[in-house]
Structure 1
Amino acid sequence: MMHNNKCIFCHFPAQESGKGCQRPQLDNGFVDPEQNMYQDGMTLTYACDKGLKTPMEGWWGMITCENGRWSDTPRCTAKGLMKEGMLVRSCDAPPQVNHATVVQQYHNNFSNGSKVVYKCKRSYIMEGKADVVCLLGEWTSAPTCSEDRIFDRCGEKPTVDNGDFISDSDRNRMALTFTCINYYKLVGPEQVMCYNDQRWSELPICKVTDSWQRPFVADVQCQNGQVAIGRCACMYDELHTTQRNRLYST
C-alpha cells in the first residue's frame, strides 16, 4: 500500500482452522466412520449393541467435532427409564414356555416389575411358579409344563358300554367326564375321579332311551335254502326310519 510516497506493508494473520477431535471412547457400540482423528466440524455417527440405546432413545446417535471437543459424549445404556437418578431397566419379550400360553395381553416391551402369568395347555401340569417378573432387564425363572401322568395311579382308564369320556386333569386329580351315544342316556355320576388311593370313583351306565324301538316289520322268506329278509324297517324314533335288504345263510 502506498501512503505519502511511502510503501507500507500490512501483515494479516491467516485464519486458523479449529482443532480436530480424537476418536471418542464408546463401550458396547461402534462409530462410523472409524478413524483416529476427525476434522473440526465433522459429524460422527455411532450405534449401540443389541439391547442398548443411545441418550437419544434410539439405536444410533450423532456427535459433532467442535474445535477439539465433541458436542456430546457418546453412550450406550440399557433400555429403561430413569427413576431418582438411577436407570430402571425394562425387559424384552418374556421367555417362551412349551405347552403353555400367556394369559394376559402381549406387549413388545415390559417395564421393570412387570409380571407375566402362564397357563399350561390341557393334559399338561405346571412345575414351578406360574408367573415371571421383570427385574432390572431380566426375567425370573419360568415354569415348565409337562405331560400329566396322574392317571397312572389308577391304571387303565375305565370304560362304559355305549359311552365315551373326555379327560380333565390338574396337579392333584384326574377326572373323566362321560357321555352316552345316541339313543342312550347317562345314569349315575357324569364325572369319575381317580383318587390318590389308586381307585376310580363310581362309574355311570348308559341305558337305552324309551324312544328306541325294535324292528317291527320283517318280510322273511325261504329262497333256495337261504333265509331272505326283505324290507326290514327299523324305527328308532318318529323321525328316523331306516330300511335295509338283508340276506342270511342257514
Structure 2
Amino acid sequence: MCIRYLGFLLLIWFPGGLRAQSATQSCTAPRLDGGFFVPKQETYSDGTTLSFTCNNGYKLAVKGWWATTTCQNGAWSHEPQCIDEEDCIAPEIPNANYTTSPDVWYKDGHVFRVTCNKGYEPKNRAATTRCNKGQWTSVVVCEKSFDSCGEPPRIPHAVIKHEYKEVFAADTQVYYECEDGYTVQAAEDTKSIFCVHGFWTDGPTCSKGTGSGPGQDVSAEVETGGGDTTNAGSETQPGDGSSTNSGLNEHEPTTISRCGNPPVVRDGVVVETDRMFLKYKCSRYYALVGPETVMCYSDGMWSKLPTCKDAYCKLNTDDNDLLKPAGVKFIEEGETVRLECKPEYYFDNYSEVRCTNGTIQLSPCCNRVQLKFNTC
C-alpha cells in the first residue's frame, strides 16, 4: 500500500515523465480520393513515410507523378491530394511577389496574374497566364527592370549595412560603413548611395585616419600655382583671389574638381567618374545625342553636355480596336514585342508590335505557330 502511494506521489511531482512518454503520437490513414498510397494501414507510427500516386484522369497537386508524406507527431507532413488532370498546379516563377503552399492548385480556365518583386518587371509586359487543360498557356518571366540596379559597387575598406541582393529597385538607398581605423570623407561615419535609372551614384572613400576635415577628400585635391589646394566640389573659380590658374589656358582641360558638382543631364546619369572627365549614359527609352564624355576646363566651365532624346513609342492598348486592353505600353526604338489580341480574335492570339522611328507598326492577330513560321 505504501509503495502504491509513493508511486502516486512521484507522478504528481514529475508529470513531465508522463508527457515524455506520450510526446510522439501515431497518425490515422490519410484520405486520398482518386489515388492510393502504400503501405495501406489504419494507423501509422510516428516517423512512418507513405508513398502515394493518383489514378487515371487525376494527377497530384504537387510536381511529379508520385510523392511521399511522413507521420510527424500525429500529423502528416504533407496532405496527399489528387486533382483533375485538366487542372493546374501553382506555376513556379522566380522573382515573383507571391507565395503558395505546395498543394495549391487552380481549376481549368483560371487566369493567374503575377506581380514581380521590386526591381523586376514582367518580360514583354506579359503578366498573366491561363490554365488550359492542365497546362499554363505561357511562361511568365520576371526580369530585371531597366531602371533597377545590380549589386552596389565594392569599396575598399567598406561594407554595406544591408542584406545582400542581386537586384535593387530604382531609388533604393544603401549605406556603407568603413572598417575600423578608416573613416569616410563625410560628416558621418556612414554614407549612402542611390540607384538612379539603373546606375548607382558615386560612393564614399574610406581613408586611414582622420587627416581631412568633413567633406574633404585628399585624393581629389589639385595643386594651384601658389602651392595651395582646392577641394573636390569647391565652387572657387580662378580670378577670385583665392587661387591661381597655374598658367593654364581657360579652355585647357583640368581636373573635374575645379568645376564643382557634375552637371545634370535630363534623363541621363553619370556612369563613370575619372579625375579628368565624366561619362554619361541615357536611361532606357532615350538615346544619347552629343559627346558621352564631359571635361572640366581651367576656367571652371564644363565642356559641351550631351542630351537624351526620346527613343520609344507609346501605345495605349485601351484605345486600340485590335489589342486586349492592358493600359499604356512603352516600346523601345527598334524593339518588337508581342501583345495579346482581344478574345474575339481567338484565344492565344498575339500581334507583333514594333517601334520604328517613333512610329508604331502592328501585325495581324496570329497564334504562336503562325508567328513562328510567318504564315499569318
Q: TM-score, length-normalised on structure 2? A: 0.23
Flag the structure with larger Rg: 1
Q: TM-score, length-normalised on structure 1? A: 0.31
Q: Between the two structures, name the one with larger relative contact order (CA 8 Å, sep ≥ 6).
A: 1
Greater helix share, structure number: 2
Greater strand share, structure number: 1
